Structure formats: C-alpha cells, structure tokens
Structure 1
Amino acid sequence: MDPLVFVPGLLCTEALFTPQIAALAADGALVSVADHRSDDTVAAIATRLLAEAPPRFALAGLSMGGYVAMEVMRRAPERVSRLMLLDTTARPDLPEQTENRRRQMSLAEAGKFAQVAPALYPLIVHESRLEDAALRNIVLQMAEATGPEAFIRQQQSILTRPDSRPDLPSFSCPTTVVVGAGDRLTPPDRAREMSELIPGARLETVVGAGHLPTLEAPDAVTALMRDWLIS
C-alpha cells in the first residue's frame, strides 16, 4: 500500500481525517497530513508538501485540499500514484464567493474570527446534521486550532488559485472523485465535471453527507479509500 498524504480543507486540521487515519494506519498504511496553514498561495503549499512527502505517494485532498492536490498534479504528477479529490471543484471562485471570502477575512482581521466558523457550519454539513452537537464541536475546534492568521493565509491562497479544468485531462493516475450528496459548497455537479474531465476517473457520491463526508459518513469514506488504495 502506498504512503498516503492527506490535505485538509479550509479551517480544518488533521481531525478532518481522524476516522480514516486510524483505520488506514491499522491496515498498515503510512499516513501523513500536509501543512496547509503556513503559506499564502496554493503553489507554496504544494511546494512544501512535495518537499516533505515520500518520493511516491497517494494523495487525497478535501475542498481547499483538493485545490492543493491539483497543484501537486501540475507540478509533479510522476510522484502521485493515485489521487482522490473530495468535495472540491476545479473551477475558480465566482464573484460572490470571492466577496464572501473577503468579508470573512475582514472579520478575522477585525478580531471577530470567532464568528466565522459558526456562520459557516450550516453551509458545510448535511441538512440532517445541523443540530449535531458533536460534529459542530469538531468543526469549531478545528477552526480554533487554525486561528485567524492561518485562516487569512488560507483564504488568500484560495482566492489566487488557478482554474484547474484545463489540466484535468492530463491526470493519468487512478483517480476517484468523492462528493457528499448534500454538499452545498461544492455540489455534486462540480464533482461530476471533474470526473468527466479526468481520464478513467471514478465518481462516488456519499449519501447523507454534506461538505465534510470524512466526518459525516466516516465508515463510507473509509471504505472508498480502502478500495481506492488497492485498486
């Protein structure tokens, strides 16, 4: 089984993949989590990841982590043995999305970072999980661990990311695209678009999950990852 590198999403930490890390490590996988908090461009995050990763590895990124994963594929496709893109998009932001990001950055700069994650929570989970106190607590703890300075760097990197759609047809490693059926931020049509542009890609939809299926439907995602790693 190839070493596996996870890339979390915006305001997320390694806790985003806790269920999968535990299960796959028990299977014997060598798992690491990329640093996506120290740099303010997707290119710099990808450069850091490649400097710290094994010579050849499987790569899985969720949301912002997907943007980084696609940058890694542009830079060093020969080092990636297989790719999983979860709840992400190859498209750049729409103007209203850019405006929302800048508004959130302004809150963080004004000392109101604590307002950001609670406001985002209803948008990133399946509608059935809105009152899930345990899940909400994990999301808020990840945001607190990220902090305002890293959050601003992350948003800057997202704002300046390229349109990855032209690059997807060149991806040649085995690829699985995963999306929560109830994802409202990067909905299933975005996942379908990526899967149709990447040669031979598989598309998997996780029922009952929103933008964070690794936490909302951990067993289903772990099963998908096990299959992906050995296929």
Structure 2
Amino acid sequence: MNVTVRSTSPVEALVFIPDHGMTSRLFAAQIDALSLERPVTVALPIGGERIEEIATRLLPHLPQRMALIGQGLGGALALELQRRAPDRVSRLGLIATSPFSETPPEAAERETRMIALRARRVAEWLSQEYPPGAIAAPQARSALRSELLAQAEALGPETILAQARALQRRRDLQGNLRRCLAPIAIIAGAADPLCSTRRLNVMETLAPAAKLHLVEGAGHFPTLEAPETMLALFRSLLAQPLVLR
C-alpha cells in the first residue's frame, strides 16, 4: 500500500550537484532564489574516478535530511546517494541524466574526447563534449559557451578527466530507480540533442514516483537557458508530498 504524507519536520536542505566540467554556476539563478527559502548547498562530484568513490567521500558531509538535484554526472551521483541513504534523501531532481552504463562504443567516443583533457585543451574538450546545438537558441550560444568554458577552466583538466572516467565506468542505475520511492522529477530540455527521449520515458516508467518534464526552448543546459522555468519546476518538486510504502 502506498501512503502519501506531508512532512511536519523542518524544511529539508537542498543540495545541487553539477555535471562534469561544471560548477555551482550551473545553478546560480536557482540558488539565488531558493537560498532565501531553505538551506542550499552545492556538492561538486569530485574526489574519485568512480561514482561510488565520490559518494563515499561526500555522504558524511551532506545534510541529514536533503533533496538532491543533479545534472548528468551529478544526477547519477544523486541516485547513488539515494541508494545508500534512502532515509536521508527526500526527493530527487535528475536533469539530463542517464541511468544506463555506457556501451563500449560510447565509452570509446568518450575516450577520444578525453585526449584533449590530457593535453590540457579544455576549450577543445568543451566543443567536442557539447556541440553548438546543445544550446537551443542560436543567439544565446556565444554567451553560454563562454560561461561553460569559464566553469570548466575553473575546475581544470585533471578534475574533469577524473569526472569523465567516473561517467565512463558508471554501473547501470536502473535498479536504483526501481527501488526509489521518493518523488523524482526527470528533466531535460525539449531541444536537447544529447538526451534520448526514449531513455527519458524509460526512466519515468521505472521509478514509482517519477514525472518527466521536457523544458520547451531549452537544450542541454535548461538551468541556464530557461532559468525561471527551472526554478518553478524545482519549487514544484520541493512542495510535493512524500510517498511511503
């Protein structure tokens, strides 16, 4: 039996987890607004070359009760954290996140892109990882790519290389979705060429309390391309009652 409850405990903290090559600035607009309403922190997915290693490092330092919102690598890490501490994670927002392990061809393609990082050519890696079409509006591409490059350069090639290895080595996370009873918002830009709609639909089907949201007018970076829409989605997720079984 499923029981819907509204928590009467103090508001839970919100933890944002950026994608590989990105910093807290990926969520800057949403952090500014939501930090006025609840405790907000950012956990960078660093400190290991496997998602499991990063989760082991991070978990002791995270709030005892929290909502997790992550993009890409950050979303995969959020799923791993929820698996390890389901009593601490109240809800999940997964942006442009894949629960599938990389296929051999996908891993080989990533290895090719990692060559630029080994040569410390961060701008070249960014262009290969996120082609121009990853940003939906042509007029916004120059400014947003400058922002993304600034974030990547702040992290540095060694850190991004370790993050890329974590993505390359990630295990299949479909079981995590099946077992997760917490509310989940599965989010992607409607014009994101890097996210398969079929895979997003599979994710929504797997998780008992998941809902798919496609953000119109956004590509792979909806928090930057459609910040107000994303803020509204996050507030909606945070307001949802918990579902207990």
Tell me the TM-score normalized by structure 1. Answer: 0.93
* In structure 1, C-alpha distance between the alignment counterparts of 2:181 and 2:204, rounded to whole Å: 12
State the secondary structure of the residue aligned to 2:33: helix
For the 8 Å contact 2:83–2:176, the answer to whether it is kept is yes
For the 8 Å contact 1:209–1:217, the answer to whether it is kept is yes
| 2:76 alignment counterpart | 67
* In structure 1, C-alpha distance between the alignment counterparts of 2:142 and 2:122, rounded to whole Å: 20
Task: Work out whether 1:78 is the aligned partner of 2:87.
Answer: yes
Q: Deviations over 1:108-132 (max 9, x none)?
A: 2123333111333325723423753
| 1:41 alignment counterpart | 50
Q: Structure 2: any 5+ residue segments left out of the alignment?
A: 1-10, 241-245
State the secondary structure of the residue aligned to 2:87: helix
* In structure 1, C-alpha distance between the alignment counterparts of 2:227 and 2:47, rounded to whole Å: 27
Structure 1 or 2: larger helix share?
1
Q: Deviations over 1:188-218 (max 9, x none)?
A: 2222211110002111110111111111111
For the 8 Å contact 1:121–1:139, the answer to whether it is kept is no
Match of 2:118 among 109, 112, 115: 109
* In structure 1, C-alpha distance between the alignment counterparts of 2:35 and 2:14, rounded to whole Å: 10
| Residue 12 to residue 75, structure 1, CA distance change in 2 (3 Å) | same
Tell me the TM-score normalized by structure 2. Answer: 0.88
| 2:99 alignment counterpart | 90
> By how many angstroms is 1:87 displaced?
0.9
State the secondary structure of the residue aligned to 1:132: helix
Alignment of 1:52-201 (within 5 A): 52-122=61-131, 125-129=134-138, 132-201=141-210
| 1:3 alignment counterpart | 13
Q: Structure 1: any 5+ residue segments left out of the alignment?
A: none
Where do 4+ consecutive residues of structure 1 move more than 3 Å? none
| 1:209 alignment counterpart | 218
CA RMSD of aligned residues (A): 1.6
For the 8 Å contact 1:5–1:58, the answer to whether it is kept is yes
